[in-house]
Amino acid sequence: MKFRVSIAQINPKSGDLKGNALRILQAIRTAREDGADLVVCPEMSLTGYCLDEKLLMNSQFLLENKLFLMEELAPASRGIAVVVGFVDFDESNVGPDDRPLRFNAAAVLQDGRLLQVVHKRLLPSYRYFDDKRYFQPGDEVEPVTIQAKAGEVRIGVLICEDLWDEPYTLKPCRIYREKGTDYLLCINASPFVCSSPGEQDGKRFVREQLVRSQIERHGIPIVWVNTVGIGDNGKNIIPFDGSSTAHDSRGNLVAHLPLFQEAQQSVSFEEGRATNVQPPVFDREKEIYEALVMSVRDYYQKIGIFEGVLEAVSGGIDSALGTAIAFEAMGPDCLTLYNLPSKYNSQQTQDAARQLADNLGVEYKVIPIQGIMNRIVADFESHLHPLRQSITLENLQARIRGLIMMAESNDRNALLLTNGNESEIALGYATLYGDMVGGLAVIGDLPKPDVYRVARYVNRRWGEERIPRESFEMPASAELKEDQTDPFDYEIVGPIISDYIEKGASPAELVREFEEGRLKEGKYPENVYRSYDSASFGELASSLYLTMNRSVYKRVQAAPIVVVSERAFGFDLRESIINGWEG
């Protein structure tokens, strides 16, 4: 029997019930015009997935989300079945917070009627997933019959974690198979996670393997629908990559929607089988770049209060990459670049900054800060005492830049982007209230080696040196004193820091991996075993761990970071400032 499913990969905005309902209504219209029997929208697509606690505890918001479901979406389901994510609640059953029990839910609608409400059964509680904190688990696993053009079809609805059932006692996929389900529809809010260098181990590959393994066990086609765009939890900006898929009963890929953009596509099955398609060509750096571009654009648009984007550029690789991302996200008319040199900034870096602006055709302003610096130092010393430490003079330069850029941000009502990378943020190699100021940390989840990799991709993407060659070749330097260069071998420091953050590794564990030759190839450079012995590697690993722990107080005050890795600084990695263990 023929069965046609429309996959609606939409970009909901957290809390925007009206706007999200309009997106869903458009998806229903598109699916109907395409002759689909069923349209499937992502997890919590009516409310947005990343809801803050105020909304999840707000009875009026919860009520209105159900009213939109029944008064706007249900009537639109005439002649077509609809699966849509929302938040259900039980007014007759009060939870420990004296509020109605809440459920991460999916509604199955058809012909103006609510056929079924499915409550998410398996609730995650890791990273930034707080389903267990806010929702009650469902316990029913029942297929529902919908009317397709060719006859009746029994569908089973899964909500994200319900598919990841290996560590759980409840096995929804198996139960659906035992109850004679024809198709499984899994709605998701599954974030992007990039692959390791040289590997295909990112989240979309893990999801693909999971879907295939469930089909191998149960022989049921799976339509896997993901949200796209960003959400946030206050400290992390979370990109959802879309990349929705459909697999037939043999596990063949029969639909693959694009990454990082809204899309809708219909796929036709006959007796559970459909025509194969090829997955998108994998390019790790391309995916990271496009995730960051989407995140900047979506952050700007969803907040909806800014009238431009500002970037302070030094000529170095970090601000060059941040600028390229902002340029692609927002275009040249929305972006302004600023160079703020002191006497320590070389002509080479200033020329590279100007060349970047020229290459992109972006407005560029130069604001020398040495005179401001001299006046502040003179006033400070006349009223207090002679400055005692050179670090004070270094930080003062960064803070003057931060002060000027935030003043410009306020005065123009524009979003200031900050360009510290993961390695610098980890080691506190940034100035609080200085170069850390801004509304969004664009590359704060990229270790320094990845900054270079993604920047090289930018030039490949454009087929020319948009990012000047000098930005790649010059030694990394904050340029806050004479002959200063960054005191780190980033090719080795970057991977160590990433292993601490993403794997939760300890110095002792990394030393053992070093001694046994098990440091991940591709992530660590080939010369790590030639450049270090066990003792020197252990000394480096321990010093980095201690420095990272001592820098937490800076990170908790930093701008929200866009997450592209397995775990990032911010709410994702919940650090405490007070930590007496030195590793």
Averaged pLDDT, 448-457: 98
Please write the tens of the pLDDT for every residue from 231-245.
Answer: 999 999 999 999 999
Active site (annotated) includes residue 173: no
Quote the CA–CA distance of 525 and 518 in Å, as a whole number: 12
Closest CA to 5 of 212, 250, 251, 272: 272
State the virtual CA torsion across 41, 146, 71, 95 in degrees, nearest 10.
-70
Quote the CA–CA distance of 519 and 496 in Å, as a whole number: 10
SS3 content of the chain, % helix, strand, coil (to 5): 40, 20, 40
Q: Which of 89-93, 391-395, 458-462, 527-531 has the lowest mean pLDDT?
A: 89-93
Nearby residues of 526 by Cβ (< 8 Å), 6 or more positions away: none
At 158 the three-state DSSP class reads strand
pLDDT-derived band at 95, boundaries 50, 70, 90: low
Q: At what angle do helices 347-360 and 317-330 cross, to 10 degrees?
A: 10
Please write the tens of the pLDDT for every residue from 292-314.
Answer: 999 999 999 999 999 999 999 99
Res 529 pLDDT > 90: yes
Determine what percent of the chain is predicted with pLDDT higher than 90: 94
Q: Which of 170-174, 414-418, 484-488, 578-582 has the lowest mean pLDDT?
A: 578-582
Residue 517 DSSP code: T
- Single out the catalytic residue among 13, 41, 50, 120: 120
The one-letter amino acid code at 155 reads I
Q: Which segments of 69-125 does DSSP mark as H helices, in order?
A: none
CA atoms within 13 A on the CB side of 70: 12
Nearby residues of 8 by Cβ (< 8 Å), 6 or more positions away: 24, 27, 30, 31, 39, 40, 41, 42, 225, 264
What pLDDT was estimated at residue 128?
Answer: 83
pLDDT-derived band at 130, boundaries 50, 70, 90: confident
CA distances from 62 to 68, 97, 102, 137 (A): 10, 15, 9, 17
Quote the CA–CA distance of 99 and 101 in Å, as a whole number: 6
Quote the CA–CA distance of 49 and 58 in Å, as a whole number: 15
- Single out the catalytic residue among 160, 173, 194, 334: 160
At 111 the three-state DSSP class reads coil
Please write the tens of the pLDDT for every residue from 543-573.
Answer: 999 999 999 999 999 999 999 999 999 989 8
What domains can you pick out in the chain, each with its CATH number?
2-273 (3.60.110.10), 290-488+551-562 (3.40.50.620)
Quote the CA–CA distance of 46 and 326 in Å, as a whole number: 29
Whether residue 564 contacts residue 259, with contact meaning beta carbons closer than 8 Å, is answered with no
What pLDDT was estimated at residue 93?
Answer: 74
Nearby residues of 446 by Cβ (< 8 Å), 6 or more positions away: 288, 421, 422, 454, 564
Averaged pLDDT, 394-409: 97
Active site (annotated) includes residue 521: no
pLDDT-derived band at 491, boundaries 50, 70, 90: very high
- Single out the catalytic residue among 13, 41, 43, 173: 43
Active site (annotated) includes residue 186: no
